[in-house]
Structure 1
Amino acid sequence: MNGTALNWLELCRTVGPCLRPGGTALTDRALEVCNLSADSLIADVGCGAGGTLYHLEQIGFRRLVGLDPSETLLGDAAPRLETARLIRGEAATIPLRSATVDLLLCECVLSVLPGRSAPLREFARVVKDGGYLVVSDVFSTAGDEATGQAGGLLTRKELLAAVAGNGFTLLRWETHDRLLKEFAVRMILAGECLPDAWKGGTERKGEAARGGLGYFLMVARKAEDPLP
């Protein structure tokens, strides 16, 4: 998760380095679907304080890249990581070569970005043919299914259309609304508000726990070009 409205470094210290519903348990569920080796290149876009990168190191992955716009969070992540390379940058302009990434993770980041089209195009650019895209995030369950306008969040239909439009095929879609509610409670107990993009156009802290907002895990694979 990333953004500028909250003190993310302080949240990392009070809530933990994985600032998202489900933490690395959902990451592991996604990895079950992906055919990867220890030498697969994994990029974590919006890596924050490096919670996922640390977890991936611990389970044996050796080629890891973390991207985040916050120099402060990257500085906090660096001491706990051994092999991961950390880069300051934006999701809309990923400083990696095209078709080099085996797995791109975007965990609880897309919803807080100012736009989704440019990041999704970048994801498609850097992921190699046959590579994987894993997104976990909030989505609108209360908005007009045709327009998806509920606090600016996309509906499931819109998300899947955007992913397919960038050359990815859906492998898994799961909803984990209970984890979202639990995370909202943890944030409130820590004295923090949820990101503005999650509030469905309101300023009420408990909006995520009352409906209109769901949480999903999606795994998609980039189509391989047919042989000539």
Structure 2
Amino acid sequence: MDKVVSSAAAAVADVPDGASVAVGGFGLCGIPMNVITALLDRGTTGLRVVSNNCGVDDWGLGVLLAEGRIAHMTASYVGENKEFARQYMGGELEVELVPQGTLAERLRAGGCGIPAFYTPAGVGTPIAGGRETRDFDGRTYVLEEAITTDFALVHAARGDRFGNLAFHASARNFNPLAAMAGRITIAQVEEVTDFAPDEIHLPGIFVHRVVPAGLAEKRIEKETTSR
């Protein structure tokens, strides 16, 4: 039952080229940087990544992107990464843009074993092109398929040896959902500890490897100061 592994490198040692990977984080909050760096160091390439965004040019998933390790990106926001724009415009990167709420629900559905669901988001736009639609109570909805991935990489403030996790503030937005979608989920945690049952945000059934990461570097996405 003890899911703690010795290092981030050991945790990602079996991630193959071409794997699909769900990655937690929201902006620069809750980024699993230790395991992303371990994946970079391992040389894994051709990755098919699902995440809210793709980091920035020198942080988060941006470090994998800069080395050409990501082949396909499913995301809801990509506006902070110049290299992302360059690769996409140059035909080097395949991109699927998904409304943020839809992306969150596709990951959650995948973790819950729900194959698809209907949503009003995207109806009447290119996002709905070629997809099944259905009317409920006079309103049109588009069918969206759930997302599951080979692996998931997430960051948590606290975790225990059984894989139970707790997240801090807005790091709770996408990390639990990404963790649920992965067939093998790797969680870097700032503190390995014990939990009272009502302190758990994500049960350990969704988590397969726990990497002690210590206090993580927390970058500011846009710093605003006043005189």
What TM-score do the two structures reach when normalised by structure 1? 0.42
Structure whose alpha-carbon radius of gyration is higher: 2
User: Which of the pair has the greater relative contact order for Cα pairs under 8 Å at 6+ separation?
Assistant: 2
What TM-score do the two structures reach when normalised by structure 2? 0.42
